[in-house]
Structures are given as structure tokens and as C-alpha cells.
């Protein structure tokens, strides 16, 4: 089992939703937590919590959609924290809407944050992990990347890309001491989903952010390739998807996933009008 104590961990999307819970879990393991997010005010809250748990904390405000500036972020990390042992690509954005109503700006934001930024940040930090002979990359994906969800097509596409990329680089790195894990939660009672205030279909199940954080820690400790966080029914559904996508579609409709996301899209539009 790989110990996390004393390791330097870079965590993106650290200030909200699942990220804050992962930061706390890392602090409890006595890691040095390098938290990255856009909001300095929210990062300061993470900083205080990590330090209160007895761990070293470093915060760096940064917008990951600025891909051209990611080398600057890499330099900041190196100057403030030194060598990175573990990278957790957690930052994500989601806009629920019918694809025909989507905008270039919304689609680019999701693809940049959820897929391109993790790829580029990993590309920058990976060579040193290989040189030092130890490292781990964790990509927080989603069950939406396992089975496309209506009214959430671009988010699903971004997470599917993250899953396939994780799978590919894990195989590339099999001869090194750098592990790669992907965490696939379903609906989580935090962050993006919680803000939509729509109840989850009965059989879909909902996980807590603490469960996702615990799964992340265990994936690192035991070098797990993939961890699905969710109900047993979800695991069965994804097995069915491989055999008969049409049947899986019917199950999704029966579960009410399409109606759920349609309602989320409506709520999101209503909220935007109020702002």
C-alpha cells in the first residue's frame, strides 16, 4: 500500500463540491496539499481547514481554462511546493441543456476545464514523476462518461474523453512507478448537482462527497485503475450498455434520467435569468 503521508499533492477544483472533501481527506493523511481554484476567498477557507487538520497547505488561485498559461502554473507549483508526487485532476464545470440550445462558449468551457486542462497539466508534471521514480495521477471522471446522458451531452463527452485518456496513459506508464486512477461517481450530493435542487431518480442512487473522497484516497493507496462510486444498479447498467445500448437507453428512460436532466436544464435557465 502506498502511503500518502508526507507526499505533495496537487488538487485542482479544490475550493468547492467534491474538491473540499478531497482536500480534507488528504490533510487527514498528512499530505502537503497544493490547492488550485479560481476563487482566492474560497481557497483561503480550504487553506484554513487543511492547516487545522495538521497538514501543510499551499494555495494557488488560477483559471485552468487559460491553457497557454499552464506552464506558469507549473513553475509556481515547483517554486512553492517542489516536486509533485500526486496530481488529482478534479476541476470540472457542467451546463445542463439541450444540445441544440448549447453555445460555443459553454461547450468550450466544459471541454477546456474537464478534459484539455487535465491533459495539459498532467503533461507538464508527469516527466518529473517519472524521473523521481514515484507518482500518481487521479482523474475525477463521472458515470456520465460511461453512458451518455441526455441534456448533458458535452459534459458526458468531456468525461468520456477523460476516461479513455486515463485508460490509455495508465497502459503507457505500466513500466514506470507512476500510477493512474480514475474515479467515476454518479450523482453526488455536492457542488454542481446539489445546486440544481432536483431529486435523484430512485434507482440511480446518490453518493456523498465524503464517499468520493474516501474512494480517491483508497485508489491512490492501492493503485486502483478505476473506482465506480455509486449504487450497484449503476454497475449493472453499464454492463448492459456494452451488450445492448438500446436496452440501456430504455432503462435510463424508465429510471427518469432524461426527465431529471431536462428539469435541471430548466432550473439552470431560470437561475440564469434571475442573475
Q: Determine, yes or no, domain membership for 74.
A: yes
Q: Residue 208 is placed in which grid cell? A: 456523498
In a domain, residue 2? The reply is no
155 flagged as catalytic: yes
Task: Look at residue 230 in the predicted model and tell me its pLDDT.
Answer: 78
Structural domain containing residue 222: 8-274
CATH code, 219:
3.40.50.720
User: How many structural domains comprise the chain?
Assistant: 1
3 domain-assigned: no
142 in any annotated domain: yes
* Integer Cα distance of 199 and 194 in angstroms: 9
Q: Is residue 135 part of a domain?
A: yes
Of 155, 187, 238, 252, the catalytic one is 155
In a domain, 39, yes or no: yes
Residue 65, in any domain of the structure: yes
One-letter-per-residue 3-state SS of the chain: CCCCCCCEEEEECCCCCHHHHHHHHHHHCCCEEEEEECCHHHHHHHHHHHHHCCCCEEEEECCCCCHHHHHHHHHHHHHHHCCCCEEEECCCCCCCCCHHHCCHHHHHHHHHHHHHHHHHHHHHHHHHHHHHCCEEEEEECCHHHCCCCCCCHHHHHHHHHHHHHHHHHHHHHHHCCEEEEEEEECEECCHHHHCCCCCCCCCCCEECHHHHHHHHHHHHHHCCCEEEECCHHHHHHHHHHHHCHHHHHHHHHHHCHHHHHHHHHHHHHHHHHHC
Each residue's pLDDT, cut to its tens digit, for the chain (275 residues) gives: 789 999 999 999 999 889 999 999 999 999 999 999 999 999 999 999 999 999 999 999 999 999 999 999 999 999 999 999 999 999 999 988 999 999 999 999 999 999 999 999 999 999 999 999 999 999 999 989 998 888 999 999 999 999 999 999 999 999 999 999 999 998 887 655 555 556 666 656 688 999 999 999 999 999 999 999 976 666 677 677 777 778 777 777 767 777 777 777 777 654 333 22
Domain membership flag for residue 1: no
Query: What is the pLDDT at residue 270?
Result: 41
Amino acid at each position: 500500500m502506498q502511503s500518502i503521508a508526507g507526499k505533495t499533492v496537487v488538487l485542482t477544483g479544490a475550493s468547492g463540491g467534491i474538491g473540499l472533501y478531497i482536500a480534507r481527506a488528504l490533510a487527514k493523511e498528512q499530505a502537503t496539499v497544493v490547492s488550485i481554484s479560481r476563487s482566492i476567498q474560497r481557497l483561503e477557507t480550504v487553506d484554513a481547514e487543511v492547516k487545522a487538520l495538521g497538514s501543510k497547505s499551499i494555495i494557488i488561485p488560477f483559471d485552468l481554462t487559460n491553457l497557454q498559461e499552464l506552464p506558469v502554473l507549473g513553475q509556481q507549483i515547483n517554486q512553492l511546493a517542489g516536486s509533485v508526487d500526486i496530481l488529482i485532476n478534479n476541476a470540472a464545470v457542467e451546463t445542463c441543456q439541450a444540445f441544440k440550445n448549447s453555445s460555443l462558449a459553454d461547450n468550450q468551457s466544459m471541454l477546456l476545464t474537464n478534459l484539455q486542462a487535465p491533459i495539459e497539466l498532467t503533461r507538464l508534471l508527469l516527466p518529473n514523476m517519472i524521473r523521481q521514480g514515484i507518482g500518481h495521477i487521479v482523474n475525477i471522471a463521472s458515470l456520465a462518461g460511461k453512458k451518455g446522458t441526455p441534456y448533458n451531452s458535452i459534459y458526458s463527452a468531456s468525461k468520456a474523453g477523460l476516461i479513455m485518456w486515463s485508460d490509455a496513459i495508465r497502459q503507457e506508464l505500466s513500466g514506470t512507478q507512476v500510477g493512474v486512477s480514475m474515479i467515476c461517481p454518479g450523482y453526488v450530493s455536492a457542488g454542481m448537482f446539489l445546486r440544481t435542487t432536483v431529486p435523484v431518480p430512485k434507482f440511480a442512487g446518490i453518493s456523498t462527497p465524503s464517499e468520493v473522497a474516501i474512494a480517491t484516497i483508497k485508489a491512490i493507496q492501492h493503485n486502483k485503475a478505476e473506482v465506480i462510486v455509486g449504487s450497484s444498479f449503476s454497475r449493472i447498467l453499464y454492463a448492459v450498455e456494452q451488450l445492448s445500448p438500446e436496452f440501456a437507453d430504455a432503462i435510463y428512460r424508465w429510471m427518469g434520467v432524461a426527465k431529471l436532466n431536462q428539469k435541471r436544464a430548466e432550473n439552470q435557465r431560470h437561475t440564469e435569468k434571475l442573475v
